[in-house]
Amino acid sequence: MAARRPFAPAPPMNASFAQIRFPLLAALLALGGCATLPPPTAELAAAQQALARADAADADQYAADILATARVELTQAQAALAASRQGEARTLAVAAAAAGELAYTQSHTETLRQEYAQRRDEIAGLRRQLQLADEPADALPGDVTAVTAAEDDAPAARLQALEADPRLAGLAAYQRLQAHQALEALAAARRSQQAAALVLAARRVSTAELAAHGELLERAIERLDRTRSELLVEASRREAERARQEAERLRIQAQIQAEEAQRLRAAAEAEAAARQQAEAVIIDVGGAQAAKLKAARKRAAELARQEAELMAAQKAAAAAAGDAGDAKTPR
C-alpha cells in the first residue's frame, strides 16, 4: 500500500474569491442533497387518486373543509416539485393524500349514516303496516368529529380508545395500521418535522375512527336489509292471505248470488207454469161451457124439430079425420 501523504492545507486565497466560493459551495451542496432525493411521483399520484376518490364520494358536500385542505396541499406539493424542493413536495403530497383519504372516509361514513337512517325508517313503516311492535335500534357509536388541525395533540389516546372499543374490534384494520405507522413516525420525527407528523397522525387516526364506524354501519345496514327482506316477505304473505280471503269471500258471495238467482228463476218458472195452468183451466172451462151450450142448443133444436114434426103429424091426422067425416055425411 502506498504511504499516505500528509494532509497539506490549501494555499490561501484572496478575499474576493472566498466571498464568492463559500455561498457557491453551499448552493452546490444544497442542490446535491436535493438531487439525491427522487421526485415524489408515487406520492403525488396517490394524493391525486385520493382526491378523485373523495370527489366521487361527494366529499364537497360532507367533508368540504378537509377536502379543500387536501386540494391546497396538493397544489403546494406540485409547486414544491416544480421548484425542485423534493422533500417538501413529498411531505405535502403525503399530507394531501391523507387529507383526501380522510375526506373520502368522512363522506362515505356520513352517506352510510343516512342510508342507515333510511333503512330504519323503512323498517319502522313496515312494522307499523304489519302492526308489529317497534324493535330497539342498534347500539351504534356516536358521531365522530374529524380532527384535521395540528392542535390535536392526542392522536395516540384516540387510537387507544378506538382499540379498546369492543364494538369496533377487528374493523378498519388497514386504516388502523396506517394510524399506528403515523404515530411511530411522529415519535421518531425530528423537531422540525413534528408539526407535519402530528397533522398526519391526527388525520390517520381520524380516518381509522371513521372507517371503523363506517364498517360498523355497513354491518348494521346488512342486518337491517335482512330484517327488511323478512318484513317484506311477511307483508307479501299477509297480502296474499288477504287476497285469498277476499277471493274466497267473492266466491261465496257469487255462489250465494247464483243460488238466489236460481231460486228466483225457479220461482219465476213455477209462477209461469201456474199461470199457464190457470190459463189452460180457464180455456178448458170455457171450452166445456161452449160444448154444453152447443149441445143444449142442439138438443133444443132437436126438440123443436120433433115438436114441429108432432104438430105436423097431428095436423095431418086432424085433416085426415076431417076428410073422412065429410065423406060419411050425406049430401
Domain boundaries, the chain: 30-247
Which range among 177-186, 249-258, 294-303, 315-324 shows the weakest confidence by mean pLDDT?
A: 315-324
The residue among 153, 160, 152 whose CA lies nearest residue 180 is 160
Long-range contacts, 19-26 (Cβ 8 Å, 24+): none
Residues 6 or more apart whose Cβ sits within 8 Å of residue 100: 47, 49, 50, 51, 53, 54, 67, 70, 74
The residue among 192, 205, 245 whose CA lies nearest residue 105 is 205
Q: Which residue has the higher pLDDT, 182 or 22?
A: 182
Query: Is residue 19 scored above 50 in pLDDT?
Result: no
Q: Per residue in 189-235, pLDDT tens?
A: 999 999 999 999 999 999 999 999 999 999 999 999 999 999 999 99
Distance of CA 151 to the CA centre of its chain: 43
d(CA 100, CA 78): 15
pLDDT value for 98 = 97
pLDDT value for 330 = 54
The pTM assigned to this predicted structure is: 0.66
Q: Per residue in 240-277, pLDDT tens?
A: 999 999 999 999 999 999 999 999 999 999 989 988 88
4: which 3 cell numbers? Answer: 499516505
In the chain, pLDDT over 90 holds for what percent of residues?
A: 62
Task: Count CB-CB contacts under 10 A for residue 60.
Answer: 13
pLDDT value for 140 = 61
- Cβ atoms of residues 201 and 185 within 8 Å: yes
Chain position carrying cell 255462489: 255
Query: Is residue 5 scored above 60 in pLDDT?
Result: no
The 3-state secondary structure of the chain reads CCCCCCCCCCCCCCHHHHHHHHHHHHHHHHHHHHHHCCCCHHHHHHHHHHHHHHHHCCHHHHCHHHHHHHHHHHHHHHHHHHCCCHHHHHHHHHHHHHHHHHHHHHHHHHHHHHHHHHHHHHHHHHHHHCCCCCCCCCCCCCCCCCCCCCCCCCHHHHHHHHHHCHHHCCCCHHHHHHHHHHHHHHHHCCHHHHHHHHHHHHHHHHHHHHHHHHHHHHHHHHHHHHHHHHHHHHHHHHHHHHHHHHHHHHHHHHHHHHHHHHHHHHHHHHHHHHHHHHHHHHHHHHHHHHHHHHHHHHHHHHHHHHHHHHHHHHHHHHHHHHHHHHHHCCC
25: which 3 cell numbers? Answer: 459551495
For residue 266, CA distances in Å to 163, 256, 262, 269, 271 come to 87, 15, 6, 5, 8
pLDDT value for 143 = 52
